[in-house]
Structure 1
Amino acid sequence: MKKIVLSVGGSILVPSLESNNISKFSGILKELSKKYAVYVVVGGGGEARRYIDQARLLGIDEATSDELGILVTRINASMLVWALGDAAYRSVPEDYTEALIAGDSGKIVVMGGVTPAQTTDAVSAVLAERAGADFFVNVTSIDGIYSEDPKKNPGAVKYESITPDELLDIVSGAGMEAGSNTVIDLVAAKVLKRSGIPLVVIDGRRPENLRDALIDGKFSGSIVSPGGANPLDGI
């Protein structure tokens, strides 16, 4: 059974409490767990950024603002765990060792952030390296990797397949402030390069895209692979 780590953006899973997609994702994650050993790292999304914005208005430093955001990621992770029921490990790991121990249960492992100045994408990349994952799936709010932010530049070019070095070139200008939100951050990109773990970017605005790509082999996102191989071939 292949091992995968999914980074699920908070803006995808919980754009707001009232319009969350937890039920949709929990059903699909249960399906994936029949085919893969699944680890999920959940972001904070809009709710985390609301807390961070208010913290800044109060004059709170960036590291402490990040701590608030991490707490929100763990709340989101807890909601997903409870929605998954018996399919999930019943507590939310707060570090990588706890996550690896949880993985020994054979259940879906769900966690949030770990430390200030580190996005949940970076947490996912480090977890993928520690767990020896076969590939890393970034579930985000765009349909792949582009030369620029397609929301800001409609003329941005979408890449179906690129190398880790090309990914680093694209994300090297991304910011590191609390609540930073890009397709994947610089730290995550560097970890993926050194580990050689392939990256699959999937548009999570339609949760069914996960099933289509990882179970049915119908994929339309972007691949980052050291040797150019597609980790989804043969699915």
Structure 2
Amino acid sequence: MDIVISVGGSVLVPELSAERVSEFARVVESIADDHSVTVVVGGGKTARDYIGVARELGSNDAMCDYLGIDVTRINARLLIAALEGTAYPEPPTSYREAEDALADDKVPVMGGTAPGQTTDAVAAVFSEYTDADLLVYATSVDGVYTADPSADDDARKLERLTPDELIGIVMETQMDAGANSVVDALAAKIIERSRMRTLVLDGSDPADIECAVLDGAHDGTEILPEGTDEAQGALDEF
């Protein structure tokens, strides 16, 4: 299978730790033993902190986006270092470069690519570009909820839903630089148009990503294309 794994920056490096990055690398290598794997790494809190300071200094959103992209590529370089010869030696800066890395039997580890596009969207676009079989979002939460569970006691986690239902939940996500959401609105739109099978799960324990991909065992949310029996009626109400 062709698999794209999107790892949030705050999941990969909640604190700088060689041990933690190495554990993610072990999981990626394990999956890559049997599958074609691409990893997209986010900027996390570090990117948001830099963007916040840049805004205070008068930077516009495009400039802040470039700053965030730089942080995502620094995070990607950490994972590349841990993967040693398994990974393409540089974070690809385009989808074509990442595709070429796959053709050379290397694991591309990407960050951001262009202003106005989060790494959520990068992962979704690359999945569509390569006709990937599975897109995995390893986030700091354990799935998609009907509302923000930290602010709404009635929020329910969804085991599965359709892309259209996903869009209904995330469409109000703020689209400016440094926005933080389990999956952003642009990524949700791309998932819908590509009919991409997608998992959203808690990546705090890297081994959970391995179990989800290799064994199909996870406690997250599965997003299934319209018309799939399992996807119908996933939401009774919002």
TM-score (norm 2): 0.92
The structural deviation recorded for 1:182 is: 0.4
Q: Is it true that 1:36 corresponds to 2:35 in the alignment?
A: yes
Going from structure 1 to structure 2, the CA distance change for 1:19 and 1:47 (only over 3 Å counts) comes to farther
Question: What is the CA–CA distance in structure 2 between the aligned matches of 1:120 and 1:94, rounded to whole Å?
Answer: 12
In 2, are the aligned partners of 1:162 and 1:228 still within 8 Å (CA)? no
Identity in percent: 46
Going from structure 1 to structure 2, the CA distance change for 1:33 and 1:107 (only over 3 Å counts) comes to same
Q: What letter matches 1:13 in structure 2? A: L
Q: Which residue number in structure 1 is paired with residue 84 of structure 2?
A: 85
- What is the number of equivalent residue pairs in this alignment? 229
Q: Which residue number in structure 1 is paired with residue 234 of structure 2?
A: none
Q: Which residue number in structure 2 is paired with residue 225 of structure 1?
A: 224
Q: Is it true that 1:61 corresponds to 2:60 in the alignment?
A: yes
What SS class does the counterpart of residue 100 from structure 2 fall into?
A: helix
Q: What letter matches 1:130 in structure 2? A: Y
Q: Is it true that 1:131 corresponds to 2:130 in the alignment?
A: yes
What CA RMSD, in Å, does the superposition of the two structures yield over aligned residues? 1.4
Structure 2 residues without counterparts, runs of 5 or longer: 231-238
Q: Which residue number in structure 2 is paired with residue 105 of structure 1?
A: 104
In 2, are the aligned partners of 1:13 and 1:20 still within 8 Å (CA)? no
Q: What letter matches 1:14 in structure 2? A: V
Superposed structure 1 runs of 4+ greater than 4 Å apart: none
The structural deviation recorded for 1:107 is: 1.8
The structural deviation recorded for 1:149 is: 1.4
Alignment of 1:51-200 (within 5 A): 51-200=50-199
The structural deviation recorded for 1:20 is: 7.6
TM-score (norm 1): 0.93
Q: What letter matches 1:220 in structure 2? A: D
Going from structure 1 to structure 2, the CA distance change for 1:20 and 1:183 (only over 3 Å counts) comes to farther
Question: What is the CA–CA distance in structure 1 between the aligned matches of 2:14 and 2:121, rounded to whole Å?
Answer: 20
The structural deviation recorded for 1:198 is: 0.9
Q: Which residue number in structure 1 is paired with residue 8 of structure 2?
A: 9
